[in-house]
């Protein structure tokens, strides 16, 4: 029967062989953490390789994602659909084993990791989801939601600022089923970390409100087991297990050094490592008895079957709750959602009001929130400005998991990556808010949501120089353009309360990626629409006003639609035929077929002016090089909003002048 060390060595040899064959990669972390992984995966982790999506599985996150061969080895050895051919194709085109773990490639990879610190933050989100979901669905004697979130992380994750944001909040929220393993090997790419990382990490996490298990020998299986037992027994706090390891353990000449961090060991060193580990087998050759001891399919299937029996009993006792749980796990919306949400939108159109779109957003939340028990909202310390609290909002706390709203504090980046973790867990629709300017702090988490195609909803208010007196530090200029350039991110900048509600409706219904909702501080006039125009809003761009065959087209978004309608009236008074196109979502408009786009922006009409209080360069794709843009080319200034709009040319007179100058 293989020893624990031999079972861990299977991870080591697969990792060093795959990196060597790829001629790139990071063998050090997988080799150093192999013993910890062997204990966790074989003795504790509840999972089923035959069904990676089992609802009550434990979640495992490799936050130090550069060590991806660790998780690929674990998945392969445990019996997931990741054959040895995929291990051999590590880092190759179209393999299931890319350089960093990518969600949706290999079964069993719970999230995309690589940008350091985001994996542990996703894990915080998953633990939040588990805690809240357990409160909502578990009943006495029926614990159908009862799983842990385990996370491996390294020094790099701890140095990244996002880990401070997320782990601080995790302690505050008392996430007792979150267990993190710190790979304390003292090495990063540049060498020994003592030259640039001297934090007392244990004290830091204790100050966050975590339980900390110190000085665990990461190569001693019994010490690792004792630490995990201690962590699982602490139900009121998340736990950090501090594991002392040797990076590249098993490599006799490169272990303990940055030489094995991010480069292949080399053929000679791999041969020496095989001798050191007493591994007599060739490259990618794992003995049958080691495969047998690793394989978790039978045990995992039995665990899921046992849970299924519990769920059947739960369903018999609480049929409505069981049906609701199944609906939310599938990501389906309530049966009456489409009818009720559309009725609300049609009611808004029939009863014009002129609120700021941030207020229209809150009104939409009050209408949609009661329909959606899966809402999990939040704001980064700006709830009173973002207006993301709705009448049914309740704060989630350490002692009360019944809440559906997270007060994230000033943690924009942490909030956004936590939202991604909540979305990945399933069972909730997460939304979170800040000022549009401060999405800059969160940009990489927004990108990760788009990369993973997760339906996080990012709410951004105070969307332009219309913010006013707070000045250019708070006035977004280039943000919308950069967000629109992000693949798979759908962005909305609505012009009134109707477009705002439709934007929320679209975001809630979207299942294949994130949405940003960009709202104004200032009130906006509601526009008149026919039933056809109302239906076309969700196409991203539509004809709002038109005089037969137009000679001039004005294209606008958000607060500039009202302004463009006023400019159109002035141009019509001059005898011009004008079309006004409202384009609340350029992303959705670009996704329409050619015929629809031509019907909105006929190619024969070359006199076009785009109007938006954002960076002007983006809009030339719609107006052409011969068109004109009323936009921003500089940062803003500190002054009242009306003065700023006049100063930067967002006036009827300037739009009309630009239109009349077109050849």
Closest of 66, 69, 67, 35 to residue 284, by C-alpha: 69
Residue 117: left (phi > 0), alpha (psi -120 to 50), or beta? left
What is the model's pLDDT at position 42?
Answer: 98
**pLDDT higher than 90, residue 239:** yes
Per residue in 329-387, pLDDT tens?
A: 999 999 999 999 999 999 999 999 999 999 999 999 999 999 999 999 999 999 999 99
What is the model's pLDDT at position 548?
Answer: 87
Alpha carbon of 81 to those of 22, 42, 273, 388, 473: distances in Å? 21, 18, 28, 42, 50
Give the full edge-to-edge strand order of the sheet including 628-632. Answer: 542-546, 578-582, 552-556, 608-615, 628-632
Per residue in 74-93, pLDDT tens?
A: 999 999 999 999 999 999 99
Query: Which burial class, exposed, middle or buried, applies to 594 when counting CB atoms under 10 A from its CB (0-12, 13-18, 19+)?
Result: exposed
Per residue in 429-468, pLDDT tens?
A: 999 999 999 999 999 999 999 999 999 999 999 999 999 9
Q: Residue 637 CB: number of other CB atoms within 10 A?
A: 15
Give the full edge-to-edge strand order of the sheet including 178-184. Answer: 59-62, 149-154, 178-184, 239-244, 211-217
CA dihedral 488, 494, 500, 502 (to 10 degrees): -60
What is the band of 598 on the pLDDT scale with cuts at 50, 70, 90? very high
Partners of residue 151 on adjacent β-strands: 61, 180
What is the model's pLDDT at position 663?
Answer: 75
Average pLDDT over the chain, rounded to an integer: 97
Query: Which burial class, exposed, middle or buried, applies to 652 when counting CB atoms under 10 A from its CB (0-12, 13-18, 19+)?
Result: middle
**How many whole angstroms separate alpha carbon 497 and alpha carbon 348?**
7
pTM here?
0.98
Task: List the structure tokens of 98.
Answer: 């890319």
**How many whole angstroms separate alpha carbon 347 and alpha carbon 529?**
12
Partners of residue 302 on adjacent β-strands: none
What is the model's pLDDT at position 601?
Answer: 98
User: Look-up: residue for tokens 């990108």?
Assistant: 447
Q: Residue 4 CB: number of other CB atoms within 10 A?
A: 17
DSSP annotation of 37? H
Q: What is the mean pLDDT of residues 143-169?
A: 98
- Direct distance between the N- and C-terminal alpha carbons of the chain, in angstroms, rounded to an integer: 84
Closest of 498, 639, 512 to residue 562, by C-alpha: 498
423 in helix, strand or coil? helix
Per residue in 89-110, pLDDT tens?
A: 999 999 999 999 999 999 999 9
Partners of residue 429 on adjacent β-strands: 375
Q: What is the mean pLDDT of residues 255-281?
A: 97
CA contacts within 13 A on the Cβ side of 70: 30
**How many whole angstroms separate alpha carbon 378 and alpha carbon 431?**
6
Alpha carbon of 590 to those of 541, 561, 595: distances in Å? 9, 19, 12
Task: List the structure tokens of 585.
Answer: 């979502």
Percent of the chain topping pLDDT 90: 99
User: Which sequence positions are flagged as catalytic?
Assistant: 412
Per residue in 489-529, pLDDT tens?
A: 999 999 999 999 999 999 999 999 999 999 999 999 999 99
Q: What is the CA radius of gyration of the chain?
A: 28
**pLDDT higher than 80, residue 47:** yes
**How many whole angstroms separate alpha carbon 609 and alpha carbon 552?**
8
User: Look-up: residue for tokens 């039933």?
Assistant: 531
Q: Is 444 in contact with 149 (CB distance < 8 Å)?
A: no
**pLDDT higher than 90, residue 312:** yes
State the SS3 of 289-323: HHHHHHCCHHHHHHHHHHHHHHHHHHHHHCHHHHH
Angle, alpha carbons 186-189-191 (nearest 5°): 50
């Amino acid at each position: 029967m293989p020893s624990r060390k031999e079972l861990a060595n299977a991870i080591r040899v697969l990792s060093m062989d795959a990196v060597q064959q790829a001629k790139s990669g990071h063998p050090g972390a997988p080799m150093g953490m192999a013993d910890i992984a062997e204990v966790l995966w074989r003795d504790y982790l509840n999972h089923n390789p035959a069904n990676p999506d089992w609802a009550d599985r434990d979640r495992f996150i490799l936050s130090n994602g550069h060590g991806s061969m660790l998780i690929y080895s674990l998945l392969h050895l445990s019996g997931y659909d990741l054959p040895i051919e995929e291990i051999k194709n590590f880092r190759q085109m179209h393999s299931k084993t890319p350089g960093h773990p990518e969600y949706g490639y290999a079964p069993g990879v719970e999230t995309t990791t690589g940008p350091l610190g985001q994996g542990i933050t996703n894990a915080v989100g998953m633990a939040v989801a588990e805690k809240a979901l357990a409160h909502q669905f578990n009943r006495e004697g029926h614990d159908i939601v009862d799983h842990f979130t385990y996370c491996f992380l390294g020094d790099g994750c701890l140095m990244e600022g996002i880990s401070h944001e997320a782990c601080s909040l995790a302690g505050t929220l008392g996430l007792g089923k979150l267990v993190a393993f710190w790979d304390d090997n003292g090495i990063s790419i540049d060498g020994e970390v003592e030259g640039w990382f001297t934090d007392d990490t244990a004290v830091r996490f204790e100050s966050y409100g975590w339980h900390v298990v110190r000085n665990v020998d990461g190569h001693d299986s019994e010490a690792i087991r004792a630490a995990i037992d201690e962590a699982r027994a602490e139900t009121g706090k998340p736990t950090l297990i501090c594991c002392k390891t040797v990076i590249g353990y098993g490599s006799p000449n490169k272990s303990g050094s940055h030489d094995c961090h991010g480069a292949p060991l080399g053929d000679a060193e791999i041969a020496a490592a095989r001798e050191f580990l007493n591994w007599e087998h060739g490259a990618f050759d794992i003995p049958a008895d080691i495969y047998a001891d690793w394989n978790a399919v039978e045990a995992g299937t039995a665990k899921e079957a046992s849970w299924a029996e519990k769920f059947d009993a739960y369903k018999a006792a609480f049929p409505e709750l069981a049906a609701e749980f199944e609906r939310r796990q599938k990501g389906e919306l309530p049966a009456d959602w489409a009818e009720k949400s559309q009725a609300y939108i049609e009611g808004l159109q029939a009863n014009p009001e002129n609120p700021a779109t941030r207020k229209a957003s809150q009104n939409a939340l009050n209408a949609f929130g009661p329909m959606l028990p899966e809402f999990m909202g939040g704001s980064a310390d700006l709830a009173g400005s973002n207006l993301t609290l709705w009448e049914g909002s309740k704060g989630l706390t350490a002692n009360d998991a019944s809440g559906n709203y997270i007060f994230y504090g000033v943690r924009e980046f942490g909030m956004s990556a936590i939202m991604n973790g909540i979305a990945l867990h399933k069972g909730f629709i997460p939304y979170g808010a800040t000022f549009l300017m401060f999405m800059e702090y969160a940009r990489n988490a927004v990108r990760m949501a788009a990369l993973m195609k997760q339906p996080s909803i990012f709410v951004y208010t105070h969307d332009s120089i219309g913010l006013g007196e707070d000045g250019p530090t708070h006035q977004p200029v280039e943000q919308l353009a950069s967000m629109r350039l992000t693949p798979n991110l759908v962005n909305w900048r609505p012009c009134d309360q109707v477009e705002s509600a439709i934007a929320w409706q679209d975001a809630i219904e979207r299942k294949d990626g994130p949405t940003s909702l960009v709202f104004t501080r200032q009130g906006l006039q509601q526009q008149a629409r026919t039933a056809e125009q109302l239906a076309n809003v969700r196409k991203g761009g539509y004809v709002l006003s038109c005089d037969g065959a137009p000679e001039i087209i004005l294209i606008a978004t958000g607060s500039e639609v009202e302004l463009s309608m006023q400019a159109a009236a002035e141009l019509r008074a001059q005898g011009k035929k004008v079309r006004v196109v409202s384009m609340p979502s350029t992303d959705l408009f670009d996704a329409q077929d050619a015929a629809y786009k031509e019907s909105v922006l006929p190619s024969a009409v070359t006199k076009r002016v785009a109007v938006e209080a954002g960076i002007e360069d983006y809009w030339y794709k719609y107006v052409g090089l011969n068109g004109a843009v009323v936009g921003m080319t500089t940062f803003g200034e500190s002054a009242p909003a009306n003065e700023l709009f006049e100063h930067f040319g967002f006036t009827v007179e300037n739009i009309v002048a630009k239109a009349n100058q077109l050849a």
